[in-house]
Amino acid sequence: MVSAPEPIPEGNAERNAAERNVPWPTELRLRKDKAALAVAFDSGEAFEFPAEFLRVYSPSAEVQGHSPDERKTVGGKRNVAIIEVQPIGNYAVRLVFDDMHSTGIFTWDYFLKLGRDQGPMWRAYLDDLAAKGLARDPATPR
C-alpha cells in the first residue's frame, strides 16, 4: 500500500532555506497510477518526474557509485512504479520502487537539480543505454 507523504513540516530547515534564498518544497504528490511524482517549490517551479527517470537517477550508491566513473546505467525500468514515499527528516524523502530499490535519499536540492536538468539528463540516459546496448524495457526470459 502506498502511504501519502505527510505535509512538509515548517521549522528550522524551512527558515534556513528561506534565509539562504533556496527554494523550499510546497507539494509532493504521487500520481494515482504510481508512475510519476510531482514536486512543487515556493519559487513557483514545479516538476513531474516519471518513476523511470527517478529510478535510473536514484542518488543511491548502487546507481551513482562512489565516484562519477562508478555510475551505473540502469536499463529495463520503463514500467517501474513508486510504491512508497517515506519522509526523511524535513530535508528529503526515500522512494521505494516496485523493483524493491529503496536506498536513494532524494533531497529537495536533488529534486531541484533533476527538475532543472531533466531534459538533458534524459537524453544522456537514452544515449548511455544505446551506447551500452541496453533497453528501457525489461529483458524477457527465454
The domains located in the chain, with CATH, are 12-130 (3.30.2020.30)
Could you report the per-residue pLDDT of 26-71, keeping only the tens digit for each?
A: 999 999 999 999 999 999 999 999 999 999 999 998 898 888 889 8
pTM for the predicted model, two decimal places: 0.84
Taking only the tens place, the pLDDT of each residue in 86-113 is: 999 999 999 999 999 999 999 999 999 9
Q: To the nearest 10°, report the CA torsion of 62, 75, 108, 115.
A: 150
The three three-digit cell numbers of residue 18, written as one number: 528561506
The phi, psi pair for 78, rounded to 5°, reads -55, -40
